[in-house]
Amino acid sequence: MSENHEAAAPPPGATRLALASDCGNCFGLCCVALAYAASADFAIDKPAGKPCPNLQQDFRCGIHRELRGRGFQGCTVYDCFGAGQKVSQETFEGRDWRTAPETAASMFEVFPVMRQLHELLWYVTEALTLAKARPVHKELRAALAETEAFTALAPDALVGLDVPRHRDKVNKLLLRASELVRAEFKGKKKDRRGADLMGARLKGADLRGANLRGAFLIAADLSGADLRRADLIGADFRDARLSGADLTEAFFLTQAQLNAAKGDATTKLPPSLVRPAHW
């Protein structure tokens, strides 16, 4: 086990299992509540609140196995972090927007708020597994508890939350955790926060401990790159080549980011994530 991860039991409260999408217990909320425009990611325009034409009566996608080929690649790289089933089964107690249409407007408004909270839970939960971030674990546990409490609020209270303010507070803790984990890797070359690296040639690059927060890595060649202990929160990996790259100790990496990239059997992944089926 890496020195960067604790062998202790997972933090109380939210777990990775609870923060994984469970479409079977969701009322197709991402297929209804969200809007998208015809583009390279979506074959059609769809306004918020209108069901996708591919959504079936059982709330499942009718072209799930053909999404990429049918022009809906954007659907394959979206992750609600478990917000869908939370809103469907807990916030609205199993009442769906079809049989209880009076819930529709509120449900669709609550879903994106819950999704933001669940994304924060994902990052905080991961930060609590980083041994080098121990100095901020107490504050992180408090942030985890506060965020979980928000997710249990009634619909009206959820919609009224000042999520940007809470996100800013939590992000400061995540930044401190990141700095502690990457402390031994210093230098200007390691700070690529928000950098425009679209199409960059980074094959075999030593990016250990790099700050790649929000970096644009679209179509970048990262094959064989060493990304251990790199902060990847918000990095855009669409069509980035990750063949042979080492991501085993990279942190704040999500399944959606991997799904958007191009890797293969030689790409080394963190144990909490799975190899995308299309690689």
Report the sign of the C-alpha dihedral through residues 239, 212, 118, 279, in that order. positive
pLDDT at 186: 76
CATH 2.160.20.80 spans which residues of the chain?
Answer: 187-279
For 37, other C-beta atoms within 10 Å of its C-beta total 11
- Both structure tokens of 242: 């990750």
Q: What is the distance between the alpha carbons of residues 257 and 41, in angstroms, rounded to a whole number?
A: 14
Coil, helix or strand for 32? coil
**How wide is the angle at C-alpha 172 spanned by C-alphas 121 and 230, nearest 5°?**
75
pLDDT at 190: 85
Q: Which CATH class is domain 187-279?
A: mainly beta
Q: Which amino acid is at 261?
A: A
pLDDT at 188: 64
**Which pTM was predicted?**
0.90
Average confidence (pLDDT) per 10 residues, the chain, 279 residues? 38 64 95 95 95 96 92 92 97 97 98 97 95 97 96 98 97 97 83 95 96 97 97 97 98 95 97 90
pLDDT at 15: 63
* Closest C-alpha to 235, from 255, 218, 222: 218
Stretch (H or E) spanning 163: helix 163-181
Q: Where are the alpha helices (DSSP H) in 59-161?
A: 73-76, 83-86, 104-127, 137-151, 155-159
Q: What is the distance between the alpha carbons of residues 209 and 87, in angstroms, rounded to a whole number?
A: 36
